[in-house]
Chain A
C-alpha cells in the first residue's frame, strides 16, 4: 500500500527536480557530504569483514595496509568452540522464536478481535514490560533460577527469550491483524468454522507475511541478546554467540583478528535476515510498536 501511495509523488518530484538548477557548489557539497555519510555508516562494517581476513599481527601497529589475506582467524575461532556457540544460539533462538511467535499470534488475535473487560490494562501491562529495564531483573531472575537449579539450563534461557520478545511481537502482530478486515472472520464463522478453524484456514494464511516479519525480528533480538545469557549461562560449552564474542577479549591482550572473525560470524545472519524485513519494520516503527 505504501508503494502505491509513494510512487506517484516520487515521479512528480523527479520531474520538477530536472527543471530546477542547482549551483555547482551545492552539488559538490552534496556529493562530499554523501560520501562522508556513506563512509561513516559503512566503514566499520566493512572493516569487520576486512580485518577478519587479516593476520592478527598486522592489525597491531600501522601494518593494516598489507595485502595479506588469511583464514587463520576463522580457523582460530572455530577451534575455540565458536561452532558450539553458534549451534547453541541457533538452537535456543530457533525454538524460542517458534514458541514466542505462536503465543503472540494467539494473544494478538484475541486482542484485535474480541471485546472484553480490562483490555486496556492488558495493553498497559505490555507497555510496562516493554519499557522495563531488563538489567533490574537480572538479580531476581538469577536467584529464582538458582533456586530451581536452572542456571546453565538452555530451557530457562528460552523461557526468558520468549517472554522478552512477546510484548512487541504482540504489538506488531496486532498491527498486522488490524489490516485484515474482521468481516473475514465473520464470514468464516457464518460458513460454519469454529474459532480455531477460522484462525487456521483464514487468518493464519493471510497473516503469514506479518508472522515472518515478527519472527525475524524476535530472532534478531534473541540472537544478539547478551545480558540474560551472561547471567544464566556460566558453563563455556553452553554459551551463546554474543557471550562467545565477549570471550575473545582477554584481560590484557586482545586477539583482534579472532574478535573480528567472531563479529563477522555474529553479524552475518543478522544482516541477511534483517534486510528483507527492514521496510516492513520501518513502517511499524513510526507507529511505535517495535523494539529496536
Chain B
C-alpha cells in the first residue's frame, strides 16, 4: 500500500469520485425511488399527479396472489435452478471430456474449445433470435426435419406450447451460457498439479477415486464461483424469457424480471411493479451477500 499525507488525500478522493459518484447516482437514487414507489399506487399514466401512499398494500397483494407465487416459482425453479444446474453439471462434464486423455490424443480438444467459443461470443439477443427461428412452428428447422422424417404430423410450437416452452427456453439459455462454464472449468482442470495424479497412480488409485480425491476438490472453488455468478446473472435476466416468449403463452413462462416490466409498461401499475422490483432486488441481495463474503473478500481481502 502506498502512503499519503493529508494534502494527497485530495488525489485519492479525486480518483475515486467519478467512478463512485456516477455509480451512486445511477444505482442509489433509482433504488430509493423504487422502494418509495412500492408503497404507493403510482400509475404510469398519472406520473404528474404522483401516487397515493398505500402502505404495505402492494406487498400484501403480491403475497396473496397465487399468480405471483407462480411467477416466483418460475423464476427460482425453471429459470434459475434448472437452467443453472444443467449448465453446471453438463459444463463440468464436457470440460472433463474435453480435457480427457482420449480426446487429447484424438486432437479434438482445440476444435471443441473453438466451437464452444462461438455461443459465448454470441450476444444473448442474437442467441434468442436464431433459436426462435430454429424452434419456429412453421419455418423452423426442427419442425421441418421432424415432419420430414415422419416423427410428427403437426408442427410443434415449441415456444408457445406450455408443455414445451420451459425446455425450449432453457435450451436457449444452456446453449448461450454453457460455454462459459465449459471453458472456465477446462482452464481450471489444467491447473490440477500433475504430480497429484502421479502420486495417486503410485498409490494404485482407480480413475473414479482419482476424480473424487484429486480432480473434484481442485475444481470445486472455480465451480462454486461460476455457479454463484451464473445464478445471479440468470435470476436477473430479462432478455431470454422476454425475447423468446414474451412471458407466454399467456403468462405461463412469466418470471420476476418480465413481471416487473409487464406491471409497469403493460398494466401501468408502477407502484406494484416497484414492489415486485424491490422484492426481486432483495432476493438478488441474498446471492450478493454470499458472493461478497466468499468470493470478493477472499479475492481482494489483502486490499481491504
Q: Which A residues have a C-beta under 8 Å from some C-beta of B? A: 2, 5-6, 9-10, 12-14, 16-18, 20, 22, 26-27, 30-31, 33-34, 37-38, 40-42, 44-45, 47-48, 51, 59-62, 64, 103-104, 106-107, 109-116, 119-120, 122-141, 143-144, 146, 159-160, 162-164, 166-167, 170, 174-175, 178, 182, 185-186, 189, 195-196, 220, 223-224, 226-227, 242, 245-246, 256, 259-260, 263, 266-267, 270-271, 274-275, 278, 282-283, 285-289, 291-292
With a cutoff of 8 Å between Cβ atoms, the chain A residues found around residue B180 in the complex are: 285, 292
CA–CA, A288 to B299, complex, Å? 8
With a cutoff of 8 Å between Cβ atoms, the chain A residues found around residue B233 in the complex are: 291-292
With a cutoff of 8 Å between Cβ atoms, the chain B residues found around residue A128 in the complex are: 27, 285, 288
Do A113 and B2 touch across chains, with their CB atoms under 8 A apart?
yes
Known: A144-B30, A164-B26, A227-B238. A61 touches B139 (CB 8 A): yes
Chain B, 20-65, CB within 8 A of any chain A CB: 20, 22-27, 29-31, 33-34, 37, 47
Is B169 interfacial (CB-CB < 8 Å)? no
How far apart are A256's CB and chain B's nearest CB, in angstroms? 6
With a cutoff of 8 Å between Cβ atoms, the chain A residues found around residue B291 in the complex are: 127, 131, 288
Which of A103, A123, A160, A275 makes the CB contact (< 8 A) with B117?
A: A275
- Chain A's closest residue to B176 (CB) is A44
Which of B27, B273, B277, B300 makes the CB contact (< 8 A) with A129?
A: B27
Is B239 interfacial (CB-CB < 8 Å)? yes
Chain B, 110-159, CB within 8 A of any chain A CB: 111-112, 115-127, 129-131, 133-134, 138-139, 141, 144, 147-148
CA–CA, A141 to B277, complex, Å? 13
Do A286 and B187 touch across chains, with their CB atoms under 8 A apart?
yes
Which of B177, B239, B264 makes the CB contact (< 8 A) with A138?
A: B264
A-B residue pair count with CB separations less than 8 angstroms: 328
CA–CA, A130 to B97, complex, Å? 32
Do B108 and A131 touch across chains, with their CB atoms under 8 A apart?
no
Could you list 7 further interchain pairs (A-B, Cβ under 8 angstroms) beyond the known A34-B103, A136-B34? A10-B190, A34-B111, A40-B175, A45-B119, A64-B144, A123-B303, A271-B118
Q: Which B residues have a C-beta under 8 Å from some C-beta of A? A: 1-4, 8, 11-12, 15-16, 18-20, 22-27, 29-31, 33-34, 37, 47, 94, 97, 100-106, 108, 111-112, 115-127, 129-131, 133-134, 138-139, 141, 144, 147-148, 175, 177, 179-180, 183-184, 187-188, 190-191, 193-194, 221-222, 225-226, 228-230, 232-233, 235-236, 238-239, 243, 256-257, 260-261, 264, 270, 273-274, 277-278, 280-281, 284-285, 287-288, 291-292, 295-297, 299-300, 303-304
CA–CA, A174 to B122, complex, Å? 27
How far apart are A55's CB and chain B's nearest CB, in angstroms? 13
Which of B124, B194, B278 makes the CB contact (< 8 A) with A9?
A: B194
CA–CA, A167 to B291, complex, Å? 14
Do A62 and B144 touch across chains, with their CB atoms under 8 A apart?
yes
With a cutoff of 8 Å between Cβ atoms, the chain A residues found around residue B116 in the complex are: 37, 41
CA–CA, A174 to B19, complex, Å? 14
How far apart are B26's CB and chain A's nearest CB, in angstroms? 4
Show 15 residue pairs from A and B whose CB-CB distance is below 8 angstroms, ordered by the A residue: A5-B191, A13-B104, A30-B97, A40-B175, A110-B15, A115-B2, A119-B304, A127-B291, A132-B31, A139-B273, A163-B23, A224-B124, A226-B124, A242-B123, A270-B122
CA–CA, A15 to B199, complex, Å? 17
- Chain A's closest residue to B287 (CB) is A131
Do A112 and B303 touch across chains, with their CB atoms under 8 A apart?
yes
Do A139 and B144 touch across chains, with their CB atoms under 8 A apart?
no
A126, A283, A292: most-surrounded residue (chain B CB, <10 A): A292
Do A133 and B183 touch across chains, with their CB atoms under 8 A apart?
no
Do A242 and B117 touch across chains, with their CB atoms under 8 A apart?
no
